[in-house]
Structure 1
Amino acid sequence: MNQSSKFINPKFFYDQKGSKLFEKICDLPEYYPTRTEISILKRLKDELPPYLNDSFRLVELGSGSSVKTRLILDVLNQIQEKIEYFPIDISEILTESSSELQQEYDDLFITGIIDSYEGGLEFLKNYDDTKNLIVFLGSSFGNFTPVNGKEFLKKINSTMKDGDLFLIGLDLVKSKTILEDAYNDSQGVTAQFNLNVLSRLNDELDSNFNLNNFSHYALYNEHDQRIEMYLKSLEDQSVVISKSNLSIMLKKNELIHTEHSHKFKISQIKDLMHDTGFKIETIWLDENSYFALTLLSKNIKIK
């Protein structure tokens, strides 16, 4: 986007209300990613253990869906006498989720790391000799720009020890209709989620966005293979963000960019992982090839 384009950092999505709205989105009939990834994870109970020929610690980037975390813990539980789980998140929400998991698994030992993903992994790099199974579930990687995504993967690779494994979820290119329906649900929950960003700016930055003057707008950009999510101004208006000492003029139909979500082809996944220093152990797909879970190891041949 050019310099005159307006955007809001997607980190503002996930306050308490935003997180609850996203949980609702995950259950919507149009929103396929969560249930599709879960269907693949359920298969891993039989298909992942052959790659875990030693005691592995589970390291999760983001506190994640409790359903997804449990599916991985169940895999480890059948092959290990005790499980170490290190969730890494900048949010203290992991304290609550970890407490719930602790009550369900007798032999689970949890060490939460409140830090950036990169900071937490750097800490673990020299923590001990235990092998790590690092998981980055959901389709959050798609929110990175291509350049930043590559740098992120290189950073993860640099923090991995030989023998560590990395499991990442990636949403795949598919029908434009399926993709746009997933981000424009009939119940309007995604619209509430998107507009909640403005409520948070009003609360935290003392701004005066009138939510009735904006609408949710999402489309699939086929050229760049990404869903683009915006807030559309419904009239000419001005907004003041007091704590940032900003005054913003918006024209009718002008767009504020809030998020993009890149989709991938299998060939692109293979090239991306090779270029960032990984060896692909296997790629698991759902029956419709909507979503991919890719298991990676560190390719020590690439410098």
Structure 2
Amino acid sequence: MNDFSDKKLDYKQYVVDSKLRYFKPHATKIEKSFAEEISFSLSQNSKFINPKFFYDSKGSSLFESICLLPEYYPTRTELGILKNLESDLLPFLDEQTKLVELGSGASVKTRVLIDIFTKLQTKTEYFPIDISEILTESSEQLLKDYGTLHITGIIDTYEGGLEFLKNYDEKKNLIIFLGSSFGNFTPTNGEAFLKNIFSTMKSGDLFLIGLDLVKEKNILESAYDDSADITAQFNLNVLSRINNELDADFDLNNFSHYSIYNEIDQRIEMNLKSLVSQSVIISKSNLLLNLEKNELIHTEYSHKYQVNQIKKILCDAGFEIKKMWLDDKKYFSLTLVSKN
């Protein structure tokens, strides 16, 4: 273990081997515990569960299954765009550009970009940023498949990790935020997120963001309420997680997956619907939860965008748009922007 410090940052470095290391802040702000967050969110008049809690081991596995469903177009559509952008993207990269990813997941789409980088570079540096230490496992598999890849994980918030990289070296970064995760933000929070990203980028850095586009209501609703009920299992699994980790007594048979597309706000609204009037004890949150029949617990928004809206929100955050890619059906977009 070694220390990396400067005037602003104080991180500890953990070296796994010559090609894999990761950094963690010495002093990390105390995040609210799962129990505290659930106690707060389920005590509101409009009850909700933060979608970040979907992703325990079972939830992550179910989401990988969702990505393979015929109704769920975002993953395969974005992957298709990525596979066709090499010639357009290469002129923006050089031998020194680092690949930085906000939330790497299973790294399927990341590999397409690593393929592009390794054609250009004799040594490719990849920096996944995630608050979870899960990135170590996926990193080890990537290193087996790419001989010239070097990985530096940063276990921190997105903003904290990017602030760290801003002071790490003078090399240019291509920061990627793939999938449609940005759509989970409310418009206000999304605007704040983009401005935070902009403020932590160096001049000349690039940012590639995936955004889902507005389309027919039936296509959207089918994508989030599939015929095999995998999305329903994924949604309900968060209650199983609360049962297991917070000693609660949710009866999953008393809930159903309820997802609709709100055309006015251009967003999928995913909820859990209480099928009966019921009371649930969540012991570790010190909460007695009373639910009326048909009462909703909100679990996720997934906002969709028009092309002109994408351009506006990115420009409003200070970015300069370099290139935008759409698939043939105009279902999904990838936009490359810079800070100049």
Indicate the TM-score class for this superposition, using the shorter chain for normalisation.
over 0.9
Aligned residue pairs, count: 299
Match of 1:55?
96
* Alpha-carbon distance, 1:65 to partner: 3.5
Task: Output aligned runs, 1:1-150, within 5 Å.
Answer: 3-150=44-191
The runs of 4+ residues in structure 1 deviating greater than 6 Å are none
Query: Structure 1, residues 169-227: CA drift from partner, whole Å, max 9, x if none?
Result: 00000000000000010000000000000000011111110001000010000111100
Match of 2:319?
278
1:248 & 1:236 partners in 2: Cα distance?
11
* Alpha-carbon distance, 1:143 to partner: 0.3
Once superposed, what is the RMSD of the aligned Cα atoms? 1.3
Task: Give the counterpart letter for 2:109 in structure 1.
Answer: K
1:229 & 1:173 partners in 2: Cα distance?
17
1:277 & 1:12 partners in 2: Cα distance?
31
Check the 8 A contact 1:63/1:93 in 2, yes or no.
no
* Alpha-carbon distance, 1:54 to partner: 4.8
1:217 & 1:144 partners in 2: Cα distance?
19
Match of 1:236?
277
1:188 aligns with 2:226: no
Match of 1:269?
310
Task: Give the counterpart letter for 2:223 in structure 1.
Answer: A
- Partner residue of 2:195 out of 131, 140, 154: 154
Secondary structure in structure 2 of the residue aligned to 1:149: helix
Check the 8 A contact 1:226/1:261 in 2, yes or no.
yes
2:304 & 2:221 partners in 1: Cα distance?
12
Query: Structure 1, residues 134-166: CA drift from partner, whole Å, max 9, x if none?
Result: 000000000011111111100110111111100
1:142 & 1:237 partners in 2: Cα distance?
32
Q: TM (normalized to structure 1)?
A: 0.97
* Alpha-carbon distance, 1:12 to partner: 1.2
Task: Give the counterpart letter for 1:4 in structure 2.
Answer: N
Check the 8 A contact 1:240/1:246 in 2, yes or no.
yes
Query: Structure 1, residues 243-298: CA drift from partner, whole Å, max 9, x if none?
Result: 11111111111110000100011110111011101000010000000000000001
- Where structure 1 has 5 or more consecutive residues not aligned to the other structure, the ranges are none
1:283 & 1:215 partners in 2: Cα distance?
38
Task: Give the counterpart letter for 2:251 in structure 1.
Answer: N
1:111 & 1:93 partners in 2: Cα distance?
13
Secondary structure in structure 2 of the residue aligned to 1:111: strand
Check the 8 A contact 1:38/1:68 in 2, yes or no.
yes
1:189 & 1:78 partners in 2: Cα distance?
38
2:197 & 2:318 partners in 1: Cα distance?
10
1:147 & 1:28 partners in 2: Cα distance?
31
Task: Output aligned runs, 1:204-215, within 5 Å.
Answer: 204-215=245-256
1:267 & 1:167 partners in 2: Cα distance?
17
1:192 & 1:30 partners in 2: Cα distance?
15
Check the 8 A contact 1:45/1:74 in 2, yes or no.
no
- Where structure 2 has 5 or more consecutive residues not aligned to the other structure, the ranges are 1-40
Check the 8 A contact 1:87/1:94 in 2, yes or no.
yes
* Alpha-carbon distance, 1:11 to partner: 1.5
* Alpha-carbon distance, 1:4 to partner: 1.1
Check the 8 A contact 2:95/2:122 in 1, yes or no.
no
